[in-house]
A and B are shown apart, each in its own frame.
Chain A
């Protein structure tokens, strides 16, 4: 579904991603680990197409389309959705109104479904508030997730969906992500794929990841089994990953 090939990206004249390669197949869930500032969020933003993240070389292919020249809107319409780590607050735009718009954009679903989604994620009060304005850390995560539910993308880019989420909510967050990724189906029957950034990997206790990558200094150092990689990181630190490069 997604191929990132020899990608180098710079922001404000500074290169932050270097010659990076990554593949996500339809049906797959891929985890992305790496220390703070290593470039994980930047990679997702380059994929979703935030204009200030400019592609210096390489390309991003999604469902056979080269994304380089496409706007964020066009990429969203093609089926890419992202939950942001630090989304902006938008004064006067109510979360519910945005959900309704997203649902309408993909052609329907009656408003009852939106209410069900809101109830399930415990967002009744938040839905009537300005998006992200004064939302707590955990509320932001649930609000980002419900927006993805409304959007129903094929490729989910999830930036730390588990950070700051309490022990009860994480189970709920996990089950919604599983649904969005069609985890109830056999892998070859799924139409969705996911790329999930996580530090501690808590979300992986609920959402099964097929593979994981480790990002260090703007490039992917290694890939492998998510559990084993996490254990290695806990034991040897991120530096351990430099050893197996190549």
Chain B
């Protein structure tokens, strides 16, 4: 019954434009792709796919991972778990296995939010289900990769991630397109449920292609004393990226933290925000964005909504414009609905301060070396509460090999 309802509502929204970002013609992408065989281990993947996935944080040596999920186009080719208390499987398998799971589907967000959520409901191409069982602390990160290697394809995934009461879960998700892909559309629905006293970190690294359109749709619900930490890195070219992940702090003393690092190259349009509803006393939110334009355009949004007294929330956006062609538009919004809230924001957009370049030049660095060092430093955000391994993974994603010679 439930299923029919979702479909019906989705059908009514197929033409509904998203609130932000350029409109897209979903019909111009292909739904046809062949079903791929499963592999036994990451090493069995074709070399170019394995190689490309390592750029987005996927480790082919799985000894430092608690589990792996790998999807190529519309096929789940691998899903393994190496630790008790942890479940990883394709969403279709999970929905068959657990009756109760349908109750989580489209709970954190609605299928009729826009044409992209509707499309994902009407044509779902897998996605993952990840769950940490009550009380289980999974210290090693688990990895999930959503890969596209067919040109002009559409990939609609629906992910549901649950950290049960008192559990701890660290996820690294890499999304990438093969070098042969020029255009395509990726729609990723992700619903996160962080139960009482649970902790979840979610680090997402994107590496797309020049003409890829990307529409992630994410929402999280955090119960009492839960913590949700989301990190996002997208520093490679993409045609258009638009997302506005939303968190609902519905439990007392729940905490949400967002970190995003965006680099827009010439030809890239990014419209990325984070929204947090603080709905119970003691809730905390922190949204930090670093945006660099190397010729592309970035809208960096943020919206904090304080609905009850005794909450604290901060929004910080720093933008660097490195090319005359680029633009950065920071739009921080604070909405206090009662008096006793503590909400603040800080935004700065500009070019690198001459004085900083000069200072490093006086130490013997060339102008380019000084600039690169400052840019690297700008991108280097230390994420509180992130396991060191994932911090290193983020660092690696932020400082790809090509940059190494140019910088400190």
Contact = CB atoms under 8 A, between A and B. Distances in A.
Interface of A: 48, 50-51, 71-73, 75-77, 81-82, 84, 87-88, 90-94, 97-98, 100-102, 105-106, 130, 147, 151
Q: Which 4 A-B pairs have the closest CB atoms?
A: A92-B377, A93-B377, A72-B361, A92-B380
A106 B364 CA distance: 9
Given A72-B358, A98-B408, A88 B353 contact: yes
Given A92-B376, A101-B373, 11 more contacts: A51-B354, A73-B365, A76-B363, A91-B377, A91-B378, A92-B377, A98-B408, A101-B363, A102-B364, A106-B364, A151-B363
Contact of A101 (B358, B365, B367, B379): B365
B377 A50 contact: no
Given A93-B374, A93-B377, A98-B408, A88 B356 contact: yes
A152 to B, nearest CB: 10
A97 B369 CA distance: 13
B181 interface: no
A90 B365 CA distance: 14
B11 interface: no
B353 to A, nearest CB: 7
Given A50-B358, A51-B358, A151-B363, A92 B353 contact: no
B360 interface: yes
B323 to A, nearest CB: 20
B364 A77 contact: yes
A73 B355 contact: no
Contact of A90 (B362, B367, B374): B374
Contacts of A98: 360, 363, 373, 408
A93 B408 contact: yes
Contacts of A101: 363, 365, 369, 373, 408
A90 B360 contact: yes
Contacts of A105: 364-365
Given A92-B377, A93-B374, A151 B364 contact: yes
B104 interface: no
Contacts of A90: 356, 359-360, 373-374, 377
A76 B362 contact: yes
